[in-house]
Amino acid sequence: MIADLQKASLLKRLSAYLLDMILLLIAVTGIALLLSSILGYDDYNASLKAARESYETQYGVSFDADLTELSEEELARYNEAYEAFSADEEVIYLYNMQFNLILLILSLSLFLAHLLLEFFLPLLFRNGQTIGKKIFGLALMRTDGVRISSVALFTRTVLGKYTVETMVPLSILLLVIIGPLGLFGTIVVLAMLVLQLALLLGTKAHTCIHDLMAVTVEVELSSQMIFESEEAMLEYRKRIHAEQVERSKS
């Protein structure tokens, strides 16, 4: 075991990251399906579909029709039906509930999946290891060589990975799609991506945003000496320094 930084190779880190992302997406999908059932998303969707079909039947139109192929009379009926459908207070309520549930289910699913795979499992495995890191022999520690604490792991996972690296870009992209941010939002997301890549490729230990926030680094577990506490680290360094001084005298 070596006390000096045994940084993880970029290839291993990317491999572990891809595996963890696949598992995260599987967890998010499963949790989202469970939450959609609990929160009654399908009921709102079915009610909205029924309201849509009711207006289509009433006006003799199909909202999925190709407008370029409709006659003037059919297009007039279509516009009348769509205006009435869009102005229906019940439809507006159902749309709002559906949209809000999508946001709630997505954010909760991502949060719970991160909490499970990036916080609780690493606490169980020790050394901040996710499933991907465990398979590829990687670990987390503080930048000074001390074992990562639960507080630092929580900061890295919830504040770094979930909030800054996932929810902030998703929220901005959503606002871009809706319209308020437009080009500015796209530029912000691209800037965040460029910053992440610059940190990953340009720093000595391939440090990402979440590692900067938690003051952590990924290392090769097989060769890295990880100290149980700051006191143990300081004691080790004092002993090594004393040995070096002793050797220099002889």
Q: How far apart are CA 211 and CA 142, in angstroms?
A: 9
Residue with tokens 């020790």, as numbered in its chain:
126
And the tokens for 144? 């000074």
Does the residue 4 lie in any domain? no
Q: Is residue 116 part of a domain?
A: yes
By the 8 A CB rule, do 108 and 31 touch? yes
Residue 181 scores a pLDDT above 80: no
Full domain range(s) for residue 14: 10-245
Asked if residue 111 belongs to a domain, the reply is: yes
Residue 1 lies in a domain: no
pLDDT greater than 80 at residue 70: yes
pLDDT classification of 3: cutoffs 50, 70, 90: low
Residue 152 lies in a domain: yes
Return the higher-pLDDT residue of 121 and 200: 121
Q: Is residue 5 part of a domain?
A: no
Q: What is the pTM of this model?
A: 0.85
Does residue 57 fall inside a structural domain? yes
Check: CB of residue 94 under 8 Å from CB of residue 47.
Answer: yes
Q: What pLDDT digit, counting tens, does each position of 87-120 carry?
A: 999 999 999 999 899 999 999 999 999 999 999 9
- Give the distance from CA 119 to its chain's centroid: 13
When pLDDT is cut at 50, 70 and 90, the band that residue 81 belongs to is: very high
Helix 41-59 to helix 72-87 angle (10° resolution) is 140
C-alpha neighbours within 13 Å on the C-beta side of residue 231: 0
Within-domain flag for 198: yes
- Asked whether the predicted pLDDT for residue 176 surpasses 70, the reply is yes
What secondary structure, in 3-state letters, does the chain show?
CECCCCECCHHHHHHHHHHHHHHHHHHHHHHHHHHHHHHCHHHHHHHHHHHHHHHHHHHCCCCCCCHHHCCHHHHHHHHHHHHHHHHCHHHHHHHHHHHHHHHHHHHHHHHHHHHHHHHHHHHHHCCCCCHHHHHCCEEEEECCCEECCHHHHHHHHHHHHHHHHHHHHHHHHHHHHHCCCHHHHHHHHHHHHHHHHHHHHHCCCCCCHHHHHHCEEEEECCCECCECCHHHHHHHHHHHHHHHHHHHHC
Give how far Cα 170 sits from Cα of 120, 155, 240, Å: 24, 19, 48
Domain count, the chain: 1
Is 64 or 241 the better-scoring residue by pLDDT?
64
Structure tokens at 145: 């060589």
Nearest alpha carbon to residue 78 among 94, 92, 58:
58
Decide if 160 contacts 216 (C-beta within 8 A): no
